[in-house]
Chain A
Amino acid sequence: MKFNTVIIGGGLAGLVAGISLQKAGQNTAIISSGQNALHFFSGTFESMEEPSQQLAELFSEAGIRTHYQAGVRLMPLGTFRPAALSLEDISLFPTSHFGKKVLIVNFLGYHDFFSSFLAEGLEKQGMSCRIHQLKLAQLEWLEQSPSEMRSVQIARIMDRIWDVVVQEVRVLLKDEDTVVLPQVFGLQDISVPGRIRQGIPAQVVFAGTLPPSVPGIRTQMLLKRRYELLGGTYLAGDEATGAHVHEGVVHSIVTKNLDSHFLEAGHFILASGGFFSKGLRSNPFQIQEPVFGLDVVQAADRSDWYQPDFMQEQPYMSFGVQTDAQLHAVRDGQALKNLFAVGSILGGTRPEMGTAAGLAIRSALAAVDQILRRS
């Protein structure tokens, strides 16, 4: 099968690249061997400035609602972190003192939300907190399988019964100015978090839960749907296992499911993620990029890969695929002319491009720019 561009990896970087290329009239495919880091997304796009016109359009056309304001956000364990570009679900505050009296509401039987840590953290900021475990008949059937009372399961129900939560919280509310709820709203129906905010006569803050991340999965679904609507081919669950490269040019990709049927293209983008997504793999001796065997920037000696103190910044997190100034991936010291590496597979090798989601989006758009300029 022939495409203008083939992208390996269907996470944030791969999808942003794919959507942009489809929009520019290209015919593209994304190969993605499994789900991605968006499933753990906090809702804040780290290291991002105010979005460009292009990016703002991309988000809004996909149905993703974001807002931008430099400040801090509440973390799942009651601490605060600087944050700017975020999904609309995420409240951004100028300072960590965002209220006086806080009502923290969890659902009875749901263990992936840390109300007491949250209360402890907020009380440190001088806010007084009250915790309430809300018992909802509609959630009772989930309790039959306690291990599976997870964010996504609850969110599916909440898409239908969010108004019950609004009513219950209205009844509970005494003199609190703020209500904190777990981030389990708006999985399919993106209007739900907004409606909850409208319905409750206090400031509503959604706080993170254990994975999977409901706003993250929603973002993934919306991006993928947008990509497919633009005619992109998303090969879910397939894995790029090798490539045909001649004289510094990639000709085609081999995948596990399509075996002898190669995917040919003029350009290729490698967006296969970091260690977590197996874009980078390690064995006791070496860190490797498995699809092309690209050069990986790394410390030669294994004892320099990590800090014995777990909480320290870990050097291996900065390892990544070697690229030239235009993001062409490098193999055996030679830049491959039509292969771009983007997203977390770059690790910390391109500090000027930022980190995390910022790195994913910036590098993806930079690669798209080059591809479109050439064709």
Chain B
Amino acid sequence: MKLQEYTESRHNFEECMKCTVCTAYCPVLQVNPRYPGPKQAGPDGERLRLKDPYFFNYALKYCLNCKRCEVACPSDVKVADLIQSARIRYDKSKPKLRDRILASTDFMGSLARPFAPIVNGVTGLGITKNVLDATLKIDHQRTFPKYSGRSFEAWLRRREKEQAAFPEQVSYFHGCYVNYNYPQLGKDLVKVLNALGVGVRLLEKEKCCGIAMITNGMSEQATRHATHNVAAIEAAVHEGRKVLTTSSSCTLTLREEYPNLLGVDNTAIRDSLLMATRFIYEKLERGASLRFRPDFHKKVAYHVPCHMERLGWGVFSEKLLRLIPGVEFTLLDSACCGIAGTYGFKKENYAASQAIGAPLFEQIRAVDPEVVACDCETCKWQIEMSTGYTVANPISILAEALAD
């Protein structure tokens, strides 16, 4: 008899036994006393909100949506989902212009890219940063992600024929970051997959996964993107292709946030949507092989991004990196870097963001690696800005280690 069918509560909040374990792992609670914490903001608050929406607390906006509370909870309460869906349901304030700008990563990307050298120059200037700080409350101490001159999509389109010649085909959900800011990661993925006899295609048309819209009060736009992306991915899946990703946050959004927060059904694509590191690891496990440079040597420290931790797939990146001959591997302690997408860009969050990341930065300095490996683009900005160490996606390290 399936008793759960009759007793399951929204995001499992009734399962909470008030053990307080989640509060010990929330990074925000450690630095911001105005934040009510996962237990209060999540299952405890849900009871009150169900009674009367009046009890919705605007301090819920301080939640990073890092999901560490969910990973820690022994009772399978979806604490962060509770908090984010409460924000979606009850937060009636309109997102500020600043939040709209930060959240619209693909729109901003398509605007900025043609003027990349100018935009990069301008956003790098002290004066611009001060203006952004004063007008939009984007913290002036932030370094901005650079925009690339040519988009990844344009680059790959020029190679369509060459890619189609490979015996096996996958589609790639590259995300805004690879497309506009760092096409090199996409190129690295193509190099590795080609070495495995796999050709790479674009989706019919992909849109930003919408993660930043969800956390910035723009869930309607996010839902539109979700519906679009699920259909686009489904089309590729129908044609028998897996769809690969290189960003842990895009992946978590496509896989978990779409159904759990936005109510967009993704069952048709769930099993075919994989982080590239998982796809490659599984291929190697089944007998495929890669040829590595004999002289490769690198001291690598791997940081598992929060969303990777929640996906539970960090193990594939770890094992893949360990497999590269010449890699001296350290696994960093599981900790949040503090950036959480657009969160750390906001002036009101800057100090908290840096304080959250401090223990991680300290550990990185102590390990002193040649490169920090990490599957998340915003962690990359944060760690590079805060420590000066270079951060690379495991795929890029793999590509670098391949024999030509």
Contacts and interface: CB of A to CB of B under 8 A. Distances in A.
Interface in B287-308: none
B73 A144 contact: no
Nearest to A259: B271
A235 interface: yes
B40 A34 contact: no
B40 A147 contact: yes
B315 interface: yes
A152 B315 contact: no
Contacts of A39: 19, 21, 24
B37 A145 contact: yes
Given A152-B23, A261-B278, A277 B74 contact: yes
Interface in B277-336: 278, 282, 285, 309-313, 315, 318-319, 331, 333-334
A211 interface: yes
Interface in B1-54: 1, 3, 19-21, 23-25, 29-30, 33-37, 40
A255 interface: yes
A258 B312 contact: yes
A33 interface: yes
B24 A33 contact: no
B331 A228 contact: yes
B12 to A, nearest CB: 12
A306 interface: no
B282 to A, nearest CB: 7
B76 A148 contact: no
B311 A236 contact: no
A153 B249 CA distance: 28
Interface residues of B, number: 38
A235 B309 CA distance: 9
A210 B18 CA distance: 12
A156 interface: yes
Given A145-B35, A261-B282, A283-B1, A150 B23 contact: yes
A60 interface: no
A199 interface: no
Between A33, A156, A261, A278, the greatest number of chain B beta carbons within 10 A of the residue's beta carbon is seen for: A261
B24 A34 contact: no
B89 to A, nearest CB: 22
Contact of B36 (A29, A145, A259, A261): A145
B2 to A, nearest CB: 10
A35 interface: yes
Contacts of B37: 145, 147-148
Given A212-B24, A255-B312, A258-B312, A148 B33 contact: yes
Contacts of A35: 21, 25, 72-74
Contacts of A40: 19
B206 interface: no
Given A145-B36, A147-B36, A259-B271, A212 B74 contact: no
A142 interface: yes
Contacts of B24: 39, 150, 152, 212, 217
B99 interface: no
A225 B21 contact: no
Contacts of B331: 228
Contacts of A233: 315, 318-319
B309 A236 contact: yes
A211 B315 contact: no
A171 interface: no
B234 interface: no
A44 interface: no
Given A225-B333, A237-B309, A237-B310, A145 B34 contact: yes
B75 interface: yes
A212 B23 contact: yes
A225 B333 CA distance: 8
A140 to B, nearest CB: 9
A236 B33 contact: no
16 contacts: A143-B33, A144-B34, A145-B34, A145-B35, A145-B36, A145-B37, A147-B37, A148-B29, A150-B23, A211-B20, A212-B19, A233-B319, A235-B315, A236-B312, A256-B312, A257-B311
Interface of A: 1, 29, 33-36, 39-40, 141-145, 147-148, 150, 152-153, 156, 210-212, 217, 225, 228, 233, 235-239, 255-261, 276-278, 283-285
Given A212-B21, A235-B312, 4 more contacts: A34-B73, A34-B76, A35-B25, A148-B36
